[in-house]
Amino acid sequence: MNMGVKISALLCVFLIFLTLPSLRAEKHSLYYIYTALSKPVNLPGIYQFSAMGLLDDMQIDYYNNVEQRKFSKQIWMKEKMQEDYWEKGTQSRKSKEQWFNVNVDILMKRMGHNESDLHVFQWRVGCEIEKRGSEVKFSKGTNDYSYDGKNFLLFDIKESQWVAPVDAALPTKNKWDKIPNLNQYTRGYLETECVDWLNKFREYRDEELRKCSPPDVRVSARRCTSDKTKLKLTCMATGFYHKDMVLTIRKYHTSLPINEIESTGIRPNHDGTCQLKCSVYIQEDEKAEYDCFVSHKTLKEPVIVSWDRKCQDFPPETVAGMIGAVIGCVTVLVVTASVAYFLKKRNIIAPRMAIKHRKAFKKASVRNGPKQSIPQYEKGGEGSRRLAGRSAIICVSVGLRALLHSLSSTLVLSLFMAVIHNETGDHAISWKDGWVL
């Protein structure tokens, strides 16, 4: 066997290793984040205390100080976890809510902050693992506290002691390092108990995912706007839940280098599923064969979708529709302004006069009887013209408001986002044990 054949064989083995997901290391995480505000803010979805569990960045449970109940955010969590789990979880979260209420006041006084300003105190605790085949290995444990978005106190899992990034945290570090068994329990929780919960939740989740539909894979090309001689070839996989997605663009069945591919990263869809897009720029006249290679847990074998060499630019009817929509909006604005100007010039817009006429009409109706008409409100009268003018303005205003609302609703994604939190099998020590700042 010559040297060229050996090199080719080694290259084939290397490519197979890269493309088989079973040989690639899967990374998984379980985090709980607790967030406490120094005072209520009276904004929708923002609570003075809240807690949330995240499995691979997917929300699995939630708690807030208003509902005071730990509840599931995933159907499989609700089905798999017994009622006793949720009851004990609720009591644990209530205890932590008391702990945060006590310690946020302690922290504000230590920082010299007054109660009129809003301050945020957070706790993030959890673990990460790597899974290669059937082997599961602990990779990271986190137990961090932050105040107003800055690190306040961190746990060093290797040294089994607390680290104070700021001077204000030194009293807490010294106190907690002296609490019997606290540091040993914290490390054991991160390395063992947290990992056990992570694997349990992951198994439940994966069992549910196996029942789900496989991802939808599409490949398309669009002419590059900056260079008309190039095309932007895009592969998209959407509708999947599990984030261990392998998506590559291949040329003649060989994956392109990562540095040539643009990736959006995994993003959420509106229905709770995820999507991933990868793109590469190619010459328009290139004759090479391109395809999308996708591997996922819900697939028994990888999905390969070949590019049909079509370029999907905006069709003329789409452009015409966009231009028509803009012209329509401008026309409505011009007509509305013209009507308002005309009515004002004719002295028809007179809100105060209209109110006076309505009162006069009511008094006259009572005095003369319902069948008696008032001359100024008869057809063609001055009051009739004013009321008709006001009605016209109201109709135009309502229509314009509805139009603007429909346009703005497609542009605005969100005004506020609820604070994200993490936790696992709840940390057993509470403020009643003297574990305060």
Residue 437 confidence (pLDDT) above 50: yes
Please tell me the predicted confidence (pLDDT) of residue 416. Answer: 25
Alpha helices in 308-370 (DSSP H): 316-345, 351-368
Nearest CA to 215 out of 309, 311, 306, 304 is that of: 304
Helix, strand, or coil (residue 169): helix
Of 50 and 348, which is predicted with more confidence? 50
Whether the predicted pLDDT of 217 surpasses 60: yes
Q: How many CB atoms lie within 10 A of CB 212?
A: 14
| Domains detected in the chain | 23-210+420-433 (3.30.500.10), 216-297+299-306 (2.60.40.10), 316-408 (no CATH)
CA distances from 351 to 163, 169, 294 (A): 68, 63, 65
Q: What is the dihedral of CA 239, 244, 245, 251, to 10 degrees?
A: 180
Q: Are 201 and 129 in contact (CB under 8 A)?
A: no
What pLDDT score was predicted for residue 364?
A: 45
Residue 389 has pLDDT above 80, yes or no: no
**In Å, what is the CA distance from 62 to each residue of 80, 136, 256, 435?**
16, 27, 41, 24
| CA 257 centroid distance within chain | 30
Structure tokens, 383: 């009051």
Q: Name the more confident of 328 and 360.
A: 328
Q: Tell me the pLDDT band of 282, cut-offs 50, 70 and 90.
A: very high
pLDDT at 181 over 60: yes
Q: How confident is the model at residue 19 (pLDDT cuts 50, 70, 90)?
A: very low
**Mean pLDDT in residue range 418-437:** 50
Cα–Cα distance between 432 and 217 in angstroms, integer?
A: 53
* Range 315-319, long-range pairs (CB < 8 A, 24+ positions): none
What's the confidence (pLDDT) of residue 177? 95
Quote the mean pLDDT of the chain.
77
Model confidence over 99-134: pLDDT tens digits?
999 999 999 999 999 889 999 999 999 999 998 888
pLDDT at 420: 29
pLDDT for position 204? 93
Residue found by looking up tokens 């329509």 in the block: 328
Residue 190, pLDDT > 80, answer yes
- How many C-alpha atoms does 211 have within 13 Å on its Cβ side? 6
The mean pLDDT value for 153-165 works out to: 96
Which of 311 and 51 is assigned the larger pLDDT? 51
pLDDT score, position 141: 97
Distance CA 369, CA 205 (A): 75
Whole-number pLDDT of residue 287: 86
Alpha carbon 372 to chain centroid distance? 63
The residue among 352, 359, 397 whose CA lies nearest residue 377 is 359
Query: Which of the residue ranges 83-92, 197-206, 342-351 would you say has the lowest mean pLDDT?
Result: 342-351
pTM above 0.75, yes or no: no
- Within 10 Å of residue 414's Cβ, how many Cβ atoms? 6
Distance CA 192, CA 81 (A): 20
What does the alpha-carbon distance between residue 421 and residue 431 come to, in Å, rounded to a whole number?
19
Tens of pLDDT, residue by residue over 37-89, are 999 998 999 999 999 999 999 899 999 999 999 999 998 999 999 999 999 99
Average pLDDT over residues 273-302: 90
Q: Rounded to an integer, what distance in angstroms lies between the CA atom of residue 198 and that of residue 128?
A: 8
**Given this model, what pLDDT does residue 429 score?**
52
DSSP classification of residue 309 = S
- Please report, in angstroms and rounded to a whole number, the separation of the first and last CA atoms in the chain: 70
Percent of the chain with pLDDT over 90: 50
According to the model, what pLDDT value does residue 3 have?
A: 56
Share of the chain above pLDDT 70, in %: 66
Model pLDDT, residue 329: 53
CA distance 153 to 170: 9
Question: Ranked by mean pLDDT, which of 38-42, 238-242, 332-336, 433-437 comes out on top?
Answer: 38-42
For residue 386, give Cα distances in angstroms to 336, 354, 356: 17, 7, 12
Determine the Cα–Cα distance for residues 235 and 253; give it in Å rounded to an integer: 15
Nearest to residue 272, comparing CAs of 297, 244, 239?
239
Structure tokens at 126: 């959890």
